[in-house]
Chain A
């Protein structure tokens, strides 16, 4: 057997194939991006263990994730927050973890996206299990998991072909995702979800910002809006009673140890906002939550500088607007004395 020869042939063909694959996807507009996965979340969750009273932790779903820009926050407040928001997730499991499994008593900002916050406490439901998987990974990750993550960072940052996200975006290019795109009829008769493309860029410190394409390409933004509509139509009715009761119990515990909790309602616009206002009327959901939690709470509609912001895909702010929102929101809560600027302290 001439295995050395076979090996050299394989190596040459592989180099050629991978280079072509990489160049092809780059020519299609794809750029290297980090995976917003449980390993990255766990890396930041670990920081809560060593966080002080001055630290700020952000929990919530994608709005708190996209709309609070870490560097802007650091500029205004003097300290980078720990970003633990998670797309498509209820903040209840991560807050529960933080309250019950850590001694953290600094500031927690919870982004309230009504459709997710009041969705469910059922562990198998998507909004719950998505974040719970991340919490579980944090506790169960092995040293091998940690080293795999660190070794994958340079590859993810430099090669498009390494971008396989846990999110299963329609434009992912790993083998599973490519096969998932093949559709023949609709045997199950289930409603077909419109294609859901990645619309954010993420950095190692978990700063998520809206991609330029989403802001500039209306047709692309519309594909995302179609997905929100799909989710909206298929969502089960809210479960306010159990979600509130679950949350309030943790709020009580957190307040008892002098934790500083802030509720934040980030902007939405267009049809999405109309739909939210119909299903989750403010008085019945947000106002009641604020009243029962009895913690500082901020609704974007209540502030002149925030109320007119428009979301390109109706649910999240563009990078520039998110930076503005972050600055203004940080200033408001400093002025209210809810947090202090650690630079001027």
Chain B
């Protein structure tokens, strides 16, 4: 079920009504939330709930054993079981065709005649999110960082909690499971703030991403021709804005919906396009994924504990795998590789060419970072390398011979929207929507709120799927 759909509106109203009715005690409310979460997922594809159940049962059992088992070998085996099931699901459902395709390429390149058809496996929605979330539980249990979930119900709800099930934020067990132990009810202010965040998230998705930017980005990236440099830049800027509004919109909705139930989810975005460098970017973009990769990949790979070279290798491996997490294609790996390279270059700059960031050079640095991020997005969005290379060629050689495929108004629209987005991020980088809302009058906030809902109604939207659902 999509947040930007009528079904979800009805679903949410029913869930809230049941949650705040006096029909259920806390345990039954949690049961209701769990059933609602399964229904939320089943409305997309019922049989794939089986994967969620398997993941839940395996990780619950592994966690239970890890809580009491002292034999290190056996503990390792339980951890391996959990990881192999979760990563196995990912490998089969998400990377099956990719692995097969690469196997065939390698086999053919060494002279083995081998042909096969793609398996055409259906990618279960949100599999990358919930497998990472549930794996974090068993890894933390293995490392004795957390206590096991008190009940199976708490754990199942942690894995399946519908607001963040399919596209995050990827929440750690200690942040969420413990919230299920005691009855939760949103205060009036929390409830309305949650509703405001839900509105803001939907506005970002339906109005900004789908109505204002998606078409331009699709036109440019779906074009099979070498295009004019301006069109290439505008298409990339449009995608840059689209993916931010789409994904940040989802996270904002998720945080808002959970808050309406009295549950607090962590922030996932903090004005990333005003980042001062790439270390800063990854503290602001998809925060819950980058912290997951840091804690469960970069640090176990050695982090910065074994010298500079090892640190750079760990950094690059983390970013390459982070790229692959986003999609089963080499273009995503290159996207991750570019981010890894930027991070390494930034560290080298800090070491050999340090300079102080002031309010004067800050915005310039933010702009440079934003421009570099845009270059990486071409690989992220392009369907293949040839298109990505065409885009890069057009962007840097400013192909004046390339075909003009965007009309003037489209160019103005994208530049205005993305320009405002960049400036908003710059001015908001050290504050938050909540802080700003507290400073303005309730009437002005009400006016902004009504404009957002009005534009949502006018945009209508055709229930476009969130981009990150495919990851």
Nearest chain A residue, comparing its CB with the CB of B230: A187
Q: In the complex, which residues 1-53 of chain A have their Cβ closer than 8 Å to any Cβ of chain B?
A: 1-14, 17-18, 21
Interface bits A120-152 vs B (CB < 8 Å: 1, else 0): 000000000000000000000011110110011
Given contacts A144-B43, A188-B406, whether A8 and B446 have CB atoms under 8 Å apart is yes
Residues 240-269 (chain B) with a chain A CB within 8 angstroms: none
Chain B 121-159, CB-CB to A under 8 Å as 1, else 0, gives 000000000000000000000000000000000000000
Q: Which residues of B contact A249 (CB under 8 A)?
A: none
Of A159-167, A196-204, A252-260, A316-324, which binds chain B?
A159-167
* Cα separation A222 to B407 with both chains bound (whole Å): 27
B457 interface residue per 8 A CB criterion: yes
Interface check A189, CB cutoff 8 A: yes
On whether A151 and B10 interact (CB within 8 A), knowing A6-B192, A9-B443, the answer reads: yes
Q: Are B463 and A148 in contact (CB under 8 A)?
A: yes
Q: Does A179 contact B (CB under 8 A)?
A: yes
Partner of A3, one of B6, B42, B193: B193
Q: Contacts A10-B449, A151-B10, A175-B458; is A144 near B207 (CB within 8 Å)?
A: no
Is the Cβ of B207 less than 8 Å from the Cβ of A175? yes
Shortest distance between the CB of A333 and any CB in chain B (Å):
38
**Which residues of the other chain, B, contact A6 by a CB distance below 8 angstroms?**
192, 196, 442-443, 445-446, 449
Known contacts A1-B193, A142-B44: A188-B458 contact under CB 8 Å: no
Count class of interface residues, chain B: 35 or more
Residues of chain B within 8 A of A143, CB atoms compared: 42-44, 46
**Does A183 contact B409, Cβ atoms closer than 8 Å?**
yes
How would you classify the secondary structure of chain A's contact residues: helix, strand, loop or mixed? helix
Known: A143-B43, A144-B7. A174 touches B408 (CB 8 A): no
Q: Which residue on A lies nearest to B403, using beta carbons?
A: A188
**By the criterion CB–CB under 8 Å, are A18 and B454 in contact?**
yes
Residues of A within 8 A of B80 (CB): none
* B446:A9 contact, CB within 8 angstroms: yes
- Given the known interface contacts A8-B446, A9-B447, the answer about A1 and B7 at a Cβ–Cβ threshold of 8 Å is no
* Across-interface contacts of A14 in B (CB, < 8 A): 450, 453-454
Interface residues of B in 210-235 (CB under 8 A from A): 211-212, 215
At the interface, yes or no: B108 with Cβ under 8 Å from chain A?
no
Rounded to whole angstroms, the CA-CA distance of A288 and B52 in the bound complex is 57
Q: What 1/0 mask marks residues of chain A from 170 to 185 whose CB sits below 8 Å from any chain B CB?
A: 0001111011001111
A189: chain B residues at CB < 8 Å are: 404
A186 within 8 A of B: yes
A174: chain B residues within 8 A (beta carbon): 211, 458-460
Which residues of chain A come closer than 8 Å to B189, judged between CB atoms?
A: 1, 3-4
Tell yes or no: B326 within 8 A of A by CB: no
Complexed CA–CA distance, A152 and B463 (Å): 12
CB distance from B140 to the nearest CB of A (A): 33
Assess the A142–B45 pair: CB atoms within 8 A. Answer: yes
What residues of chain A lie closer than 8 Å to B405, measured between beta carbons? Answer: 188
Known: A1-B193, A144-B7, A175-B458. A17 touches B450 (CB 8 A): yes
**Interface membership of B16, Cβ < 8 A:** no
CB distance from A291 to the nearest CB of B (A): 39
Residues of B near A166 (CB, < 8 A) are 462
Inter-chain contact B407/A187, CB cutoff 8 Å: yes
In the complex, are the beta carbons of A21 and B447 less than 8 A apart?
no
> Which residues of B in the span 415-471 have a Cβ within 8 Å of any Cβ on A?
437-438, 442-443, 445-447, 449-450, 453-455, 457-460, 462-463
Q: Report whether A144 and B192 are in contact in the complex, using a CB–CB cutoff of 8 Å.
A: no
Q: How far is the CB of A125 from chain B (nearest CB, A)?
A: 14
Q: Which listed residue (B45, B412, B450, B462) contacts A9, Cβ 8 A?
A: B450
B365 contacts the other chain (CB 8 A): no
What is the bound-complex CA distance between A266 and B405, given in angstroms?
Answer: 37
Q: Which residues of A contact B437 (CB under 8 A)?
A: 1
Residue of B nearest to A176 (CB): B211
Q: Which residues of A contact B1 (CB under 8 A)?
A: 144
B5 CB–A CB distance under 8 Å = yes
Please give, as numbers and ranges, the residues of chain B lying within 8 Å of A21 by CB-CB distance: 454, 457-458
Taking A9-B447, A148-B6 as known contacts, 16 extra A-B pairs with beta carbons closer than 8 A to each other, sorted by chain A number, are: A1-B438, A3-B189, A4-B192, A6-B442, A10-B446, A10-B447, A12-B450, A147-B10, A161-B458, A164-B460, A173-B458, A175-B459, A176-B459, A179-B413, A184-B407, A187-B411
**Can you give 17 contacting A-B residue pairs, CB < 8 Å?**
A3-B188, A3-B192, A3-B193, A6-B196, A8-B446, A12-B450, A142-B43, A143-B42, A143-B44, A144-B2, A144-B7, A175-B459, A179-B413, A183-B409, A184-B409, A184-B412, A185-B407
User: Top 10 A-B pairs ranked by shortest CB distance?
Assistant: A9-B446, A3-B192, A10-B449, A13-B450, A144-B43, A151-B6, A175-B459, A6-B446, A10-B450, A6-B445
Which residues of B come within 8 Å of A, CB atoms? 1-2, 5-8, 10, 42-46, 188-189, 192-193, 195-196, 207, 211-212, 215, 404-409, 411-413, 437-438, 442-443, 445-447, 449-450, 453-455, 457-460, 462-463
Question: Which residues of A approach B to under 8 Å, CB–CB?
Answer: 1-14, 17-18, 21, 142-145, 147-148, 151-152, 155, 161-162, 164, 166, 173-176, 178-179, 182-189
